[in-house]
Amino acid sequence: MRLAKRVQQLPPYLFAEISRKIAEKRAKGEEVISFGIGDPDVPTPPHVIERLRAAALKPANHRYPETEGLPEFRKSAANWFKKRFNVQLDPEKEICSLIGAKEGVGHAALCFIDPGDIALVPDPGYPVYSIGTMFAGGTPYYLPLKEENGFLLDLDAIPEDVARKAKVLWLNYPNNPTGAVATLDYLAKAVAWGKRYDVPVLHDAAYSEIAYDGYKSPSIMQVPGAKDIAMEFHSLSKTYNMTGWRLGFACGNRDMVNALYRVKTNLDSGVPQAVQEMGIEALNGSQQSIADTIAIYKRRRDKLIPELQHLGLRVTPPRASLYVWARVPEGYTSAGFATTLLDEKAIVATPGTGFGPAGEGFVRFSLTLSDENVDKALARLKGWKIPPAKK
């Protein structure tokens, strides 16, 4: 039996050794505290769950859904978008429901990439941008996100010959893993760049609503003319703590949205309608849960960062996202520090290299673990003298 090359070419699981160590510690009865995965620990709002209870009893919701999504869900998404960003979207032509934003991001490559094509991918970045490209037969061209640039992708540094060959440009702000944010002026520059080279701009805005200290994330759709060249991905997972239900939407240029719809029509049967009803309730109902959740993440952020800084890690408090991106102590690699942290303190952080080569020298801490576990981790770290890095 021979597996397809696309499967054989999948990169090795970076965290295999760390996962093995976690399993060993837990087998010995040690409590391992994980800052690893960005999966909200706060429950889905009660009124959204109640909508699911009622929707589950409707016989119509027991059948195949439509791939593009319920008209009521798409209208709710358009109304939410208008209130949030003051941008009007056509719910019939400019919005498509997604089985979570990750599904849309993964399928998007099939809309734009043919074998041998180039996709411009941020490094470090969400791995699905590059994996989706590879599945479509394309080649990721990695664009480094540098600390000195505020982890903004430097559009001016893209070589002219690469820009002319590129078939898609990926952006992600607020950013995973760095927590960086982009201004509307920056997004306007990206739209202008996309138009100049006729390259579709795909903006992953999954973390748009998780922001701190009064910051509000812009949408690329607020840029005049963005609908000519851009599509944006939104997630109800992070906004309404719905990771387990899988719901999001893509919006923007109608030809791009339609291409994604056509791919999805052939590969999936859409979001379960009862889950879409949850989305309708979340988008139309009280938004207080967002503020409540942000307050929880901010409290954890403000506890964690001073302790990391005291240990010698360099950290800039993020203005958005679920993550703290920290530079490891002098002499350590990302994986080396993550391993030492696990060995000595039974605490898990994600090595920055899990998000691309330019993530070397950093680790990512997620804020999606309980306050109790955050406090336990901080107690373990207090007074810790980090050993010298092994040569």
Amino acid 15: pLDDT: 59
Q: Can you read off the two tokens belonging to residue 377?
A: 């981790």
Superfamily of domain 5-43+289-381: Aspartate Aminotransferase, domain 1 (3.90.1150.10)
Q: Long-range CB contacts (< 8 A, 24+ apart) of 264-270? A: 264/67, 264/96, 264/107, 265/67, 267/107, 268/67, 268/99, 268/103, 269/64, 269/65, 269/67, 270/64, 270/65, 270/66, 270/67, 270/68, 270/69, 270/97, 270/99
Position 133, amino acid:
T
Confidence of residue 192 (pLDDT cuts 50, 70, 90): very high
Across residues 279-297, what is the average pLDDT?
97
CA distance 33 to 31: 6
Considering the domain delimited by 64-284, tell me its CATH architecture. Answer: 3-Layer(aba) Sandwich (3.40)
On the question of pLDDT at 278 being above 90, the answer is: yes
Amino acid 391: pLDDT: 67
Position 341, amino acid:
L
CA-CA distances (angstroms) from residue 92 to 96, 97, 173? 8, 11, 26
Q: What is the dihedral of CA 201, 207, 212, 216, to 10 degrees?
A: 40
Confidence of residue 9 (pLDDT cuts 50, 70, 90): confident
Sign of the Cα torsion 239, 245, 246, 251 reads negative
Across residues 275-284, what is the average pLDDT?
98
Query: What letter does residue 220 receive in the DSSP assignment?
Result: G
Place of tokens 């074998």: 115
Q: Which of the residue ranges 28-32, 162-166, 288-292 would you say has the lowest mean pLDDT?
A: 28-32
Q: Can you read off the two tokens belonging to residue 325?
A: 């991106």
On the question of pLDDT at 14 being above 60, the answer is: no
Q: Can you read off the two tokens belonging to residue 189?
A: 């520059």
Confidence of residue 67 (pLDDT cuts 50, 70, 90): confident
Is the CB of residue 287 less than 8 Å from the CB of residue 209? no
On the question of pLDDT at 377 being above 90, the answer is: yes
Give the phi and the psi of residue 382 in degrees, each rounded to 5: -60, 125
Amino acid 390: pLDDT: 80
Confidence of residue 13 (pLDDT cuts 50, 70, 90): low
Is the CB of residue 348 less than 8 Å from the CB of residue 34? yes
Sign of the Cα torsion 248, 253, 256, 262 reads positive
pLDDT in tens, 93-116: 999 999 999 999 999 999 999 999
Amino acid 38: pLDDT: 87
Contacts with 182 (C-beta within 8 Å, 6 or more apart), sequence order: 152, 171, 173, 218
pLDDT in tens, 41-56: 999 999 999 999 999 9
Residues carrying CATH 3.90.1150.10, the chain: 5-43+289-381
Confidence of residue 11 (pLDDT cuts 50, 70, 90): confident
On the question of pLDDT at 90 being above 60, the answer is: yes
Amino acid 34: pLDDT: 93
Q: Can you read off the two tokens belonging to residue 99?
A: 């089985």
Beta bridge partners of 69: none
Amino acid 24: pLDDT: 86
Across residues 220-230, what is the average pLDDT?
98
